Amino acid sequence: MLLSIVTLNYKTPDLTIACIQSVVDQFATELKAGVLEHIIVDNNSSDDSVKKIKNFIAKNKIPGIILIENKENVGFGNGCNVGTQKAKGKYVLFLNSDTKIEDRNFIEMTEFLNDHPKVAIMGGKMKNFDNTPQLSAWKFYTLPNLFLMLLGFERFGMLNASPVTIAKVDWVTGGCMMVSKELFEKIGGFDKQIFMYMEDMELCFRAKKYGFETYYYPHINVLHKSQGSSNRSFAILNIYKGIHYFYQKHMPVWQQAIADILLKTKGIILVIIGKILGNNYLVTTYEQTLKLF
């Protein structure tokens, strides 16, 4: 089998079904021929997700769709690991449930990976539903870059980009990430200690340590509903957790200390601003981040 697409579902059945439908629309022939499969990993949703997805698959008699029901919510990265363990494809595509694919160019991505054995990871271009580009290629959060990120310079494209040509990059978002299954397993898959957010950066950083490369592929069309499967407060808290853990795992102690100071300073400032402005969202969100240290 050439390609296994792995999509996590957690209480987003309608988004997941729309994602499945977009895969079927583009790859019906490959699904029927066993060239491609779409693995849905449900992270123990407490709603009617499993029932809805099963009914959709049965009603439409779609081949090549596999539903895995986790008994607990193991997070994004570990959920992807679960799906990859069941995957039969030479390559695995991690595709968010809040996406829709609009062309067949994932096949071209597999060809690039096949022709470039040093490339373990490849990210794809994603767009908002109004067709504006999302910045999906990033620089590692080294101390200078972390400082710029906390100051908000990401919004100006200083740390992230949407290249127009195939390019080597530091890391790509896990919402549309293709990997060689063999190399993914060789470097240990996603880190199980990271529940959600920053697991993609950590994986690409670890791949680089192993001597592999990460590339960005712009010649696909994937629509992505940003944070369709989470909320902003949850994202901020877990980004802080992920960065803190990343520095503990990969960086010397002195860099860990500086990173923590930067993170805490940003949290303290925003709590103060929130209290002055009466903004309960800022206070609540960033008080949670300060509990990490």
pLDDT values of the chain reduced to their tens digit, one per residue, 293 residues: 999 999 999 999 999 999 999 999 999 999 999 999 999 999 999 999 999 999 999 998 889 999 999 999 999 999 999 999 999 999 999 999 999 999 999 999 999 999 999 999 999 999 998 888 888 899 999 999 999 999 998 888 889 988 999 999 999 999 999 999 999 999 999 999 999 999 999 999 999 999 999 999 999 989 998 755 557 899 999 999 999 999 999 999 999 999 999 999 999 999 999 999 999 999 999 999 999 88
236 and 220, same structural domain? no
Within 10 angstroms of residue 269's Cβ, the number of other Cβ atoms is 13
Report yes or no: 102 and 128 within 8 Å, Cβ to Cβ. Answer: no
Calculate the alpha carbon distances from 133 to 137, 139, 153, 204 in Å.
11, 17, 17, 22
pLDDT for 228 equals 53
Residue whose C-alpha is closest to residue 25's, from 81, 131, 103, 98: 103
Write down the pLDDT at residue 154.
Answer: 86
At 204 the pLDDT is 98
Whether residues 214 and 159 fall in one domain:
yes
Neighbouring C-alpha atoms within 13 Å toward the C-beta of 265: 10
26 and 82, same domain (yes or no): yes
Looking at 224, 241, 267, the residue that finishes a domain is 224
Q: 144 and 220, same structural domain?
A: yes
Provide the domain limits for residue 130: 3-224
- Final residue of a structural domain among 224, 240, 274: 224
Domain with residue 162: its CATH number is 3.90.550.10
**CB count, 10 Å around CB of 284?**
12
Contact 230, 282 (CB under 8 A): no
Strand 36-42 vs strand 65-69: parallel, antiparallel, or unpaired?
A: parallel
Q: What is the pLDDT of residue 230?
A: 59
- Kindly state whether residues 85 and 212 are assigned to the same domain: yes
- Which of 194, 224, 254 finishes a domain? 224
Cβ-contact 197, 238 below 8 angstroms: yes
Query: 48 Cβ partners below 8 Å, 6+ apart?
Result: 13
Taking phi over 0 as left and psi of -120 to 50 as alpha, with beta for the rest, 11 belongs to left
Total domain count, the chain: 2
Global pTM? 0.94
Same domain, 268 and 142: no
d(CA 188, CA 224): 27
Residue 231: φ, ψ to 5°: -120, 170
Same domain, 196 and 166: yes
Alpha-carbon distance 44 to 225, whole Å? 22
Q: Residue 19: name the closest of 217, 224, 197 by CA.
A: 224
140 & 113 share domain: yes
Looking at the fold, whether 37 and 76 belong to one and the same domain comes out as yes
Is the dihedral angle over the CA atoms 276, 278, 279, 281 positive or is it negative? positive
Rounded to 5 degrees, φ, ψ at 119 are -90, 115
CB 123 within 8 A of CB 207: no
* CA distances, 11 to each of 43, 46, 176, 235, 238 (Å): 9, 7, 20, 16, 19
Shared-domain flag, residues 240 and 220: no
Nearest Cα residue to 112 out of 103, 122, 126, 102: 122
Indicate if 161 and 19 belong to the same structural domain: yes
Same domain, yes or no, for 115 and 23? yes
